[in-house]
Amino acid sequence: MLYSTRSKLIASFLGVSLLVGAVSLFIGGQLLYKAVFSEATNRIRLDLNAAREIYLTRINSVKVSLNITTLGDEFRLELKRYDAPKLVNRLRRMAQHAELDFAGIVTGEGKTLCRIGTNPVPIEESQPVNPIANLALKRGVPVSGTVVLSREFLSAENPDLANRARIQLVPTRRAAPREAKEEASGMALAAAIPVLDGDDLLGVLYGGILLNRSTTMVDRVRDTVFQQEIYKGRSIGTATIFFNDLRISTNVLTPDGNRAIGTRVSREVKEQVLTEGKMWTDRAFVVSDWYITAYEPLVDIFGERVGMLYVGVLEAKYADMRGKALTVLVLIIMAGMALAIGLGYLLADKIMSPVRRLIKASQRVSEGNLSPQIGPISKDEIGVLQNTFKDMIVSLEERDKRRREESENRLLQSEKQASIGRLAAGVAHEINNPLTGILTFTRLLLRRRDIEDKSRSYLQKIAESTVRVRKIVKGLLDFSRQTELDREPTELNRLVGSTISLMENQALVRGVGIAFEPGENLPVVTLDRGQFQGVLINIIINALDATETGGNITVSTGISLSASDTGRKGVEISIADTGCGIPPEDLDKLFDPFFTTKEVGEGTGLGLAVSYGIVQRHGGTIRVQSEVGRGSAFTIWLPVEELSERRKNTGC
Amino acid sequence: MKILVVDDEDIVLESCQAVLELAGFEVLLVPSADKALEAMKGNEFSLLLVDVKMPKRDGMYLMRKVKEQWPDIPILVMSGYYTTETIKEAIKMGAATFIAKPFEPDELVETIHQIIKREEHHGKKEGPRN
């Protein structure tokens, strides 16, 4: 019982903390996710800006290096002279310094004069289109930016470049369908500078970097923007340059650890960035992982969207951050729950300990210890319970004491009776023999005729006294005799009625009225009719003796519960007179043997004691109520045995 | 008519002797059960008057012994201390009746006469065995 109360308390504490925990975990998780995600998105936007700066700076560096070359006087001189071998040498040095993949000079007519590739001075008539040089020629101003280069142009420039540019398309989930199996064109950062001599156009110097399979740009972006941050063995930041939707330069890795060149972007990104020209920032599944990404379109020198620039950070890092925060939250909740258990335990203990003490105390009480410890009184409802318990113990104790006193009294009474009985027995035996002598010889003497009158009257007195002694001894013997009760089922009203009719003559003689008020539906009582009638006669005679002429005696019967025997069912016979009454100081001596208020010679003082003994042996009690000058009422209570009930029910 | 009176107290014996002799009975007094049995052997009694409570062997013992050998001799039991049980037991053992001490002389004589009359009425076909 105790444990279940404790468990209930702990369970409710736990329930509350679990509920609160679950709700805060859910809401906290959501909030955390949003916060982390928006933080990551903001960062990736900034990172994309940085990447674009690097991209543009690189274009600018190509342009600057070309520009510086065109400014040299020797260059102009060699160009005027069309001194191809020297120009090629110069271009090669420039390309080496500026890390250019291709460079060359186009004449004002658009013919390639020379270049740094394997075929430095072309002699063919038909030459592939050089888009950037042509644009510079056409506009007459320096041009720089992103440009798409055909396979023909690349292979004319340098077959190695054409090979580098060729990329096999890797089938990619979620990408837009594309028929071609490979991409042969290249995308490059390039610049073209018209070289002027006064107003005369000497030619156009062009040069650039092929982005296909290039690693420098994207790795620089990764290294500068993400500072080579490594998360779980992988670079957290990635950068990619797309040609159309194809990864041509990237440091996103495939699961086997290679750069994911040849894979393509998902259809949604392609549509939003390439088709619609918008920026994309969201989480996206890149090759094999979830990234928080940003894409923006790359526009070539003609204003066409030809590719995309991408940066992304591994979502795992942010997810783990969120995971860590959630773990902390879960730990806090668990700590809260542990606290709830502990608190519940302590609280249950605090609440239950007085209750437990009360339980122990009531066990003590049931074992008979009526002064158990119940500990300090609480100030709450349990305190009320404790006080009630205390009151209960006090009244139990009082009842116990009362009962003990009653039974002690009863014991004393019966001991008194027993010792009187023993005394009476001895006395009777010892006295009756000499009495026999006294009575016999007195009587024999009285028979003689020769005795003078005075002596005769003396002898007469001896005889009378002896008879009186005989009567007293007989009374004593009656009193001491613990004869077995000869019980039989009896109709009480009939017994009382017949006893009263026995007494009616005596009452008539004394001028005292005697009335019987029989109770109705009395149960049958089992009693010793003879002895019980003796009791009734004794009490009625006492009543007659106490009542003056003209007084009344009322005998009544009825059903009653015992006053002392906790409500046991029984019957009552009440004998009430209007006599002289009994003084209070005599009331408690009333049933003592030899107590009498009658004149010497009239009573032995044993009648009521004997009556009391008889009633007691029937399991009953005699109660007396009396008021001096108004009368007394003797009430005999007898228990009703189950047997008699049964007999009554079966009609016996 | 000869009556044997058995009692351990002299005063009782003397009282009985006085009353019974005055009433015309022949009386033999003995103070104990053993003496009574002895006396029985040499005498023929019409009645035994026996006290119940005696030291050593009591009246009950004596009655048993007498009823074994002389079942026809009536026995009158007397006692100063008695209970319903003792009276019942005595009657059961064959006592004619019971008389409480102290008794009036007339009461004793009357009781004895009644017993003897009753015995005669039942017919004294066989004389008391000896």
Q: Which of A419, A415, A439 is nearest to A427 (CA)?
A: A419
**3-state SS, residue A448:** coil
Mean pLDDT, chain A, integer? 84
**3-state SS, residue A57:** helix
**Digit-coded pLDDT (tens) for A395-449:** 888 887 887 887 677 667 666 666 776 777 777 778 888 999 999 999 999 998 8
According to DSSP, the residues that pair with A225 across neighbouring strands are: none
Position A594 scores a pLDDT of 61
Residues 20-49 of B with CB under 8 A from A: 22
Backbone angles phi, psi at A206, to 5 degrees: -130, 160
For tokens 């023993």, the residue is: A422
Is the C-alpha dihedral spanning A346, A352, A354, A359 positive or negative?
A: negative
**Digit-coded pLDDT (tens) for A127-150:** 888 999 999 999 989 999 999 999
Position A597 scores a pLDDT of 67
Structure tokens at A626: 């009396």
Position B128 scores a pLDDT of 45
**Cα nearest neighbour of B51 on chain A:** A433
Q: Mutate which of B11, B78, B79 to disrupt the A interface (most A C-beta within 10 Å)?
A: B11
CA distances to A564, A652, B106 from A639, in Å = 12, 19, 46
Position A20 scores a pLDDT of 87
| Beta-carbon separation of A443 and B105 below 8 A | yes
CA-atom Rg of chain B in angstroms: 13
> Where among A330, A350, A369 does a domain terminate?
A330
Check if CATH label 3.40.50.2300 holds for domain B2-121. Answer: yes
- Among the listed ranges A213-217, A377-381, A382-386, B122-126, which one has the minimum average pLDDT value? B122-126
**Digit-coded pLDDT (tens) for A489-521:** 888 899 999 888 888 888 888 889 999 999 888
* A561: number of Cβ within 10 Å: 12
DSSP A271: I
How would residue A154 be classed by pLDDT, with cut points 50, 70 and 90?
A: very high
CA distances to A482, A569, A573, A637 from A620, in Å = 16, 11, 11, 5
More confident residue, B90 or A483: B90
Is A404 part of the contact surface with chain B (CB cutoff 8 Å)?
no
How far apart, in whole angstroms, are the C-alpha atoms of residue A401 and residue A407? 10
- The region, left, alpha or beta by phi > 0 then psi within -120 to 50, assigned to residue A533 is alpha
Is A432 part of the contact surface with chain B (CB cutoff 8 Å)?
yes
CA distances to A345, A352, A359, B42 from A1, in Å = 15, 10, 11, 92
Q: What residues in A contact B17, CB-CB < 8 Å?
A: none
Q: What residues in B contact A433, CB-CB < 8 Å?
A: 7, 9, 11-12, 80, 101
Position A239 scores a pLDDT of 92
Structure tokens at A22: 């679950």
How far apart, in whole angstroms, are the C-alpha atoms of residue A239 and residue A313? 9
Of B18, B101, B104, the CB nearest to A432: B101
Q: How many CB pairs under 8 A join A and B?
A: 64
Q: Mutate which of B11, B101, B108 to disrupt the A interface (most A C-beta within 10 Å)?
A: B101
Minimal C-alpha gap between A618 and chain B (Å): 19
Q: Which of A535, A501, A531 is nearest to A516 (CA)?
A: A501
Minimal C-alpha gap between B128 and chain A (Å): 30
Please name the helix (run of DSSP H) or strand (run of DSSP E) that holds residue A285, with its range, or none.
strand A280-286
Backbone angles phi, psi at A208, to 5 degrees: -175, 180
How far apart, in whole angstroms, are the C-alpha atoms of residue A368 and residue B3? 68
| Beta-carbon separation of B18 and A431 below 8 A | no
**Cα nearest neighbour of B13 on chain A:** A437
Kindly give the pairing relationship between strand A182-183 and strand A167-168: antiparallel
Which stretch, A2-6, A284-288, A636-640, B108-112, has highest mean pLDDT?
B108-112
Residue A411 lies in a domain: no
CA distances to A229, A461, A497 from A630, in Å = 119, 39, 25
Question: In which domain, by residue range, is A61 found?
Answer: 1-330
Q: Which of A200, A275, A286, A209 is nearest to A240 (CA)?
A: A286
Contact present, B40 and B69 (Cβ < 8 Å): yes
**Cα nearest neighbour of A471 on chain B:** B102
CA-atom Rg of chain A in angstroms: 67
Residue A585 sits in a domain of what CATH number? 3.30.565.10
**3-state SS, residue B4:** strand
How far apart, in whole angstroms, are the C-alpha atoms of residue B71 and residue A21? 110
In chain B, what's the furthest Cα-to-Cα distance? 37
DSSP A126: -
Residue A79 lies in a domain: yes
Is B103 part of the contact surface with chain A (CB cutoff 8 Å)?
yes
Minimal C-alpha gap between B124 and chain A (Å): 32
| Beta-carbon separation of B80 and A433 below 8 A | yes
Is A471 part of the contact surface with chain B (CB cutoff 8 Å)?
no
Minimal C-alpha gap between B19 and chain A (Å): 7
Q: Mutate which of A440, A460, A482, A528 to disrupt the B interface (most B C-beta within 10 Å)?
A: A440
**Cα nearest neighbour of B108 on chain A:** A440
Q: How many domains does chain A have?
A: 2
| Beta-carbon separation of B81 and A438 below 8 A | no
Tens digit of each residue's pLDDT, chain B (130 residues):
899 999 999 999 999 999 999 999 999 999 999 999 999 988 889 999 999 888 888 888 999 989 888 888 999 999 887 766 777 788 888 888 889 888 999 999 999 999 988 888 775 544 444 4
How far apart, in whole angstroms, are the C-alpha atoms of residue B105 and residue B96? 18
Structure tokens at A247: 């990864």
Query: How many angstroms from the chain centroid is the CA of residue A409?
Result: 58
Is A441 part of the contact surface with chain B (CB cutoff 8 Å)?
yes
**Cα nearest neighbour of A425 on chain B:** B81
**Digit-coded pLDDT (tens) for A529-572:** 888 888 888 888 888 888 888 899 999 999 887 665 566 788 99
Minimal C-alpha gap between B102 and chain A (Å): 4
| Beta-carbon separation of A439 and B102 below 8 A | yes
DSSP B102: S
Is the pLDDT score of A615 beyond 80? yes
User: Residue A132 is which amino acid?
Assistant: I
According to DSSP, the residues that pair with A189 across neighbouring strands are: A146, A209
Of A425, A466, A483, the CB nearest to B102: A466
Kindly give the pairing relationship between strand B97-100 and strand B75-79: parallel
**Digit-coded pLDDT (tens) for A10-62:** 888 888 888 888 898 888 888 888 888 888 888 889 999 999 999 999 999 99
Residue A95 sits in a domain of what CATH number? 3.30.450.220
The reported pTM is 0.49
> Where among A330, A361, A387 does a domain terminate?
A330
Minimal C-alpha gap between A524 and chain B (Å): 27
How far apart, in whole angstroms, are the C-alpha atoms of residue A472 and residue A594? 10
User: Residue A350 is which amino acid?
Assistant: K
Is the pLDDT score of A637 beyond 60? yes
Cα B38–Cα B43–Cα B44 angle in degrees, nearest 5: 130
Contact present, A25 and A333 (Cβ < 8 Å): yes
According to DSSP, the residues that pair with B97 across neighbouring strands are: B76
Is A423 part of the contact surface with chain B (CB cutoff 8 Å)?
no
Residue A638 lies in a domain: yes
For tokens 């650890």, the residue is: A257
How far apart, in whole angstroms, are the C-alpha atoms of residue A38 and residue A26? 18
CB burial of residue A213 (10 Å; 0-12, 13-18, 19+): middle
| Beta-carbon separation of B18 and A436 below 8 A | no
How much of chain B is helix, strand and coil, in % rounded to 5? 45, 20, 35
Domain residue spans of chain B: 2-121
Residue A180 lies in a domain: yes
When pLDDT is averaged across residues A604-617 and rounded to a whole number, the result is 76
Non-local (6+) Cβ contacts of A504 within 8 A are A514
What does the H/E/C string look like for B27-58? Answer: EEEECCHHHHHHHHHHCCCCEEEEECCCCCCC
How much of chain A is helix, strand and coil, in % rounded to 5? 55, 20, 25
Tell me what percent of the residues of chain A surpass a pLDDT of 90: 28
**Cα nearest neighbour of A426 on chain B:** B81
Q: Mutate which of A432, A445, A480, A482 to disrupt the B interface (most B C-beta within 10 Å)?
A: A432
Position A145 scores a pLDDT of 95
Of B12, B14, B102, the CB nearest to A470: B102
Residue A410 lies in a domain: no
Position A354 scores a pLDDT of 82
Is A466 part of the contact surface with chain B (CB cutoff 8 Å)?
yes
Of B18, B22, B80, the CB nearest to A432: B80
Buried/exposed code over A443-458 (b: 16+ C-beta within 10 A; e: otherwise): beeeeeeeeeeeeeee
* A52: number of Cβ within 10 Å: 15
- The region, left, alpha or beta by phi > 0 then psi within -120 to 50, assigned to residue A368 is left
**Digit-coded pLDDT (tens) for A287-324:** 778 888 999 999 999 999 999 999 998 888 778 877 88
More confident residue, A590 or A443: A443
Of A433, A443, A444, the CB nearest to B101: A433
Of A425, A436, A470, the CB nearest to B81: A425
Residue A584 lies in a domain: yes
* A404: number of Cβ within 10 Å: 10
Of B11, B19, B82, the CB nearest to A433: B11
**Digit-coded pLDDT (tens) for A340-369:** 888 888 888 887 788 888 888 888 888 877
Is the pLDDT score of A462 beyond 70? yes
Non-local (6+) Cβ contacts of A455 within 8 A are none
How far apart, in whole angstroms, are the C-alpha atoms of residue A575 and residue A541? 11
Position A111 scores a pLDDT of 87
When pLDDT is averaged across residues A212-237 and rounded to a whole number, the result is 84
CA distances to A22, A40, A325, A330, A334 from A25, in Å = 5, 21, 10, 7, 11
Q: What is the ipTM of this complex?
A: 0.87
Q: What residues in A contact B88, CB-CB < 8 Å?
A: none
Q: What residues in B contact A438, CB-CB < 8 Å?
A: 102
Position A58 scores a pLDDT of 93
Is the pLDDT score of A600 beyond 60? no
Q: What residues in A contact B83, CB-CB < 8 Å?
A: 481, 483
Q: Which of A206, A207, A280 is nearest to A242 (CA)?
A: A280
Cα B125–Cα B129–Cα B130 angle in degrees, nearest 5: 150
Is A431 part of the contact surface with chain B (CB cutoff 8 Å)?
yes
Is A438 part of the contact surface with chain B (CB cutoff 8 Å)?
yes
Contact present, A284 and A312 (Cβ < 8 Å): yes
Residue A409 lies in a domain: no
Is A530 part of the contact surface with chain B (CB cutoff 8 Å)?
no
Q: What residues in B contact A464, CB-CB < 8 Å?
A: none
> Where among A268, A299, A330 does a domain terminate?
A330
| Beta-carbon separation of A429 and B53 below 8 A | yes
| Beta-carbon separation of B104 and A434 below 8 A | no
Cα A37–Cα A40–Cα A41 angle in degrees, nearest 5: 85
Tell me what percent of the residues of chain A surpass a pLDDT of 70: 92
